[in-house]
């Protein structure tokens, strides 16, 4: 934790890397010259990214020579340390130097860093292939589900259309049967009315004939029995 805080002292809060040409603002904070200049170029006013202090006139930035020298020394030391740690301890999962393999990591499983990187890359490649395959399978499954939903939707629409057609045909059949029934009833009613009228006319005709025969027979009756015929 202390080492991290020590390293943070030489890191620019904008680029999060070791200072390159460190400069100080009037509020006392340090940044890479390119970082703070670029930051101010993209804002409407000159403001400290850390304390948010606003400078109404863009200040002239001066190189912090002390911090620059320390940062340069830290960079050189980091490059030198990184060049030494070309081995990897699989037991502790960390980079080590040749001296460490003969002391603290003497009984551990040590391999060259390039070998470990190669194996890690191979594992990542395998994992990436598996992820890509899983994505393809999920996409294929999604397409199949979508296709199935579309088929079910079309089947449902076709079933609704067929049902509506059956219902329409049934209604038409009922309407046609109703019309035929009405026609039959009307024909029967008309025939019954004709028969009734024919019977009435027949009775009237028979009655008239009977009256005529009676009128012809009246003169032949005895005088004392004869009654005047009305009509």
As a whole number of angstroms, the distance between CA 73 and CA 7 comes to 12
The pLDDT of residue 78: 59
Among 27, 106, 14, which residue's Cα sits nearest to residue 59?
Answer: 27
Distance CA(226)–CA(157), nearest Å, equals 94
116 and 88 Cβ atoms separated by less than 8 Å = yes
Are 71 and 10 in contact, with CB atoms under 8 Å apart?
Answer: yes
List, for residues 35-75, the tens digit of each pLDDT value.
999 999 988 889 999 999 999 889 888 888 888 888 888 77
Sign of the dihedral defined by the CA atoms of residues 105, 87, 81, 29, in that order? negative
124-147 confidence digits (pLDDT tens) = 888 888 988 999 999 999 999 999
CA distance 118 to 197: 116
Ranges of the chain with pLDDT below 50: 1-3, 225, 231
Domain ranges of the chain: 1-70
Q: Does domain 1-70 have CATH number 3.30.40.10?
A: yes
DSSP track, 14-50: TT-SB-SSEEE-TTS-EEEHHHHHHHHHTSSSEE-TT
**Using the 8-state DSSP alphabet, how is residue 220 labeled?**
G
């Amino acid at each position: 934790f202390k080492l991290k805080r020590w390293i943070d002292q030489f890191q620019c809060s904008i680029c999060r890397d070791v200072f390159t040409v460190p400069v100080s603002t009037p509020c006392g904070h340090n940044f890479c010259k390119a970082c703070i200049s670029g930051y101010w170029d993209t804002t409407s006013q000159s403001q400290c990214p850390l304390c948010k202090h606003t400078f109404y006139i863009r200040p002239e930035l001066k190189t912090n020579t002390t911090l620059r020298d320390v940062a340069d020394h830290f960079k050189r030391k980091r490059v030198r340390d990184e060049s030494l740690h070309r081995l990897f301890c699989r037991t502790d999962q960390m980079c080590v130097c040749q001296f460490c393999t003969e002391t603290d990591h003497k009984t551990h499983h040590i391999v060259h860093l390039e070998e470990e990187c190669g194996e890690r890359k191979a594992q990542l490649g395998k994992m990436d292939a598996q992820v890509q395959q899983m994505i393809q399978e999920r996409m294929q499954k999604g397409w199949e589900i979508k296709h199935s939903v579309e088929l079910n939707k079309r089947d449902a629409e076709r079933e609704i259309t067929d049902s509506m057609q059956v219902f329409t045909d049934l209604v038409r059949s009922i309407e046609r049967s109703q019309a035929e029934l009405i026609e039959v009833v009307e024909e029967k009613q008309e025939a019954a009315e004709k028969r009734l009228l024919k019977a009435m006319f027949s009775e009237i005709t028979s009655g008239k004939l009977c009256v005529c025969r009676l009128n012809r027979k009246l003169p032949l009756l005895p005088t004392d029995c004869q009654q005047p015929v009305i009509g």
